[in-house]
Structure 1
Amino acid sequence: MERLARQRADAQIRDGGREEMTDLDETSMTSNFSRYLTAKTTVDDRALNRQVLAELRRLMPAGAPRVLEVGAGLGTMVARLMDWGVLSSGEYVLLDADRRLLDGSRRWLCDWADVRGLRSDLLPDGLQLGDLRVRLVHAELASHLEAERGARADVLIANAVLDLVDVPAVLPGLLQLLVPGGVYWFTINYDGESVFMPDHPHDDQVMRAYHRDMDERVRYGRPAGESRTGRHLFQHLRTAGAPALAAGSSDWVVSADPKGDYPGDEAYFVRCILDTIRDALRSRHDRVEPTDLADWLAERYRQLAAGELVYIAHQLDFVGRSPR
């Protein structure tokens, strides 16, 4: 469900035409999304499937691999992999369609390195983190696939990305970005189940409407994901000649402690999820009654402020090799 700013950008697209956005609008949206990505770092830390991660460690090429991450955002994944000892040298390419977000990744990664006493040096196209060179590439995924720029990668990472694209159309091109037999790690793929607790009478109505919105979403004139990407990836990967070598659940689970405090900035993360549902459905009166949506949201926001709300999203991780 990592579609906060991207889905809000989609709301600017109507009948093939883009509404005008000011630089201030775009800067504010990117700033909000940056905070969202930072807030969800601890949520992803807990969620990422450890069995799948162990298989990634086993498959990781020796030496100095070339890693490409699509939809990389602030670079939280490269930081995580270095923290977890999965990666320490080579080249790591951050690919994202948001130039401001990539610019922010320089600052975010430098701050991250400073806290750990790790040397960081700015480069014209990115930065150096210890023995790892990080390159920043500004491109929308589909145009990057069409251009096929640069050398092929040894490892391809997509975190909370594939449920935002038309997987059958995009996956073959993605796998071609890898060397033959290269390693892919596709994580946090939404799989059709979001739970908010305590129960609410309008839960089924709201989530059914939200999932329908996911299934009908279009971005840049193309289908943009679906609500059951996770389970469908098993077959999509087989069809592409790259069946998963390991797969497992990577559910987001966010709850407050007994005092009603959420870890880190995770209350903001959950508020962003609620805001995204609100923005997707508030003008879709054919899908959910406005008064029902308003009641549901008001109660969920109240529960979040009181530290009572529990949020769970079911997702799946995959690791495997590209066709040889």
Structure 2
Amino acid sequence: MAATDTFVPTEYEWLLLRFNADQAARASEIEQQARARASARAPLKVLDLGAGAGANLLYLAPRLPATDQAWVLVDRDAALVERVRTCFDRMSAKVAAAVADDLVSFGDQRVTYQARTGDFLAATDPIWEQPWDLVVANAVFDMLSREQVDAFFALAAERWAGRRPTLYFTINLDHQLRFIPAHPDDDQVRAMFHGHMRRQQYYGRALGPDSAEAVTDLARVHGFTVTSGSSPWRIPADAGAMLHANLDFIERAADEMITDGADGIDRDPFARWLSARRESIERAELSLEVGHRDLLIEWP
């Protein structure tokens, strides 16, 4: 059962697919509250955690009320950080942006940005000594352990108590993974995939589909208030590329679990399930819902 070779048939296709899915999924009521909390300070200082190639800025910056914004994008992956400018260039037409050096303009909005390699979980990272108005993260916390998220909120409560920035964390996984129509083996595949997401990493056990619940609980433990809203991906039957991309993730997870000898997943039944699902996509007969929650985290 070899993984397919079509996960990213062209450069940035997954970025574009994900951008569109996230844009459609975001909880509008939580986004409106985040916009209302955005400071009138000029410039608005925004920190993007686990920023990847910068898609969160392209989505959120033009929707914030401030016409003058200064963003810092931090990610541990230096290769992604190096691709931020290229990402902005590739996506500029889609989001009606003009890109020049370290400036992205959306009409009369001017957004300066700095993209750098860093570890926002490290107490020595410069982000903890800088004043922020808004701290954002998109689809980040499912890759962290409960201990890491706990340590993050402990640092935030201590280091950012003076400025008290609003924290706006979007597309946090919950437990929903629903194929429509259902298949008798869906439950087994779902359990396998979620188990793979929760597998032990070098830093601990990843939160995976428990991330929305865990981030909410740990923020409250450290004295923050949390407002949440549902933000599921609803991938329709005519979105074949996105559906195949999600099956690619599941296939790779199954390959790793089978190779590691994990219980509860057998090669042949999974291969039959996968083949049936891919055939359904080609006939435009399969849709998918992936559950997330958006979180607005504030100071008491």
TM-score range, shorter chain: 0.7 to 0.9
Match among 239, 251, 254 for residue 232 of structure 2: 251
Aligned-pair identity in percent equals 21
Structure 2 gap ranges (5+): none
Residues 117 and 254 of structure 1: CA distance in aligned 2, closer, same or farther (over 3 Å): closer
- Which of 251, 267, 277 in structure 2 is aligned with 1:290? 267
Question: What is residue 278 of structure 1 aligned with on the other side?
Answer: 254
| Cα separation, 1, equivalents of 2:34 and 2:115 | 23
Equivalent pair of 2:26/2:294 in contact (CA under 8 Å): yes
Separation in structure 2 between the aligned mates of residue 95 and residue 114 of structure 1, nearest angstrom: 24
SS of match in other structure, 2:133: strand
**1:189 has 2:172 as partner:** yes
Question: What is the one-letter code of the residue matched to 1:252?
Answer: W
Cα offset, 1:139, TM superposition: 2.3
Corresponding residue for 1:156?
135
- Are the aligned partners of 2:7 and 2:245 in contact in 1 as well (CA < 8 Å)? no
What is the 5 A alignment of 1:212-223?
A: 212-218=195-201, 220-223=202-205
Shift in Å, 1:231: 2.3
User: Which position in structure 2 is the counterpart of 1:14?
Assistant: none
Q: Say whether 1:309 aligns with 2:292.
A: no
CA contact (8 A) 1:281 1:287 kept: no
What is the 5 A alignment of 1:51-130? 51-63=29-41, 64-113=43-92, 118-122=97-101, 127-130=102-105
Q: Deviations over 1:37-68 (max 9, x none)?
A: 22111111111000100100110011311111
SS at match of 1:156: strand
Q: Post-superposition shift, 1:157?
A: 0.7
Instruction: Name the aligned partner's letter for residue 171 of structure 1.
Output: F
Residues 1:224 and 1:205: Cα distance change in structure 2 (over 3 Å): same
TM-score by length of 2: 0.83
Report deviation, 1:204.
1.0
Out of 154, 169, 172, the position equivalent to 1:172 is 154
1:230 to 204, 212, 219: 212
Give the conservation status (yes or no) of the 8 Å contact 2:142–2:211: yes
For residues 98-150 of structure 1, the C-alpha deviation after alignment (integer angstroms, 9 at most, x for no partner) is: 2222222202213433566644221xxxx11132111101124434x443445
Cα 1:32/1:184, change in 2 over 3 Å: farther
- 1:57/1:34 Cα in 2 relative to 1: closer, same or farther (>3 Å)? same
Q: Which moved more, 1:277-286 or 1:154-163?
A: 277-286
Q: 2:242 aligns with which of 246, 254, 266?
A: 266
Other-structure match for 1:209: 192
The more displaced of 44-53 and 312-321 is: 312-321
Judge conservation of contact 2:153–2:222 (CA < 8 Å) in 1: yes
For the Cα contact (< 8 Å) 1:210–1:280, is it kept in 2?
Answer: no
Q: What is aligned with 1:22?
A: none
In 1, the alpha carbon distance for the partners of 2:248 and 2:299 equals 35
TM-score, normalization: structure 1?
Answer: 0.78
Structure 1 residue 177 displacement after superposition: 6.2
Closer/same/farther in 2, CA of residues 174 and 65 from structure 1, 3 Å limit: same
Contact kept, 8 Å, 1:184 with 1:322, in 2: the verdict is: no
Give the deviation of 1:228 after TM superposition.
Answer: 1.7
Q: Which residue of 2 aligns with 1:46?
A: 24
Give the paired residue count: 285
**Cα RMSD after superposing both structures:** 2.8
The AA in structure 2 aligned to 1:270 is N
Partners of 1:230 and 1:316 within 8 A in 2: yes
Q: CA deviation at 1:275?
A: 3.7
Distance 2:278 2:183 in 1: 13
Q: Tell me, what secondary structure is at the counterpart of 1:228?
A: helix
Per-residue CA shift, 1:195-254, capped at 9, x if unaligned?
Answer: 112211111112112222223331x4333224222123332111011111x211001110
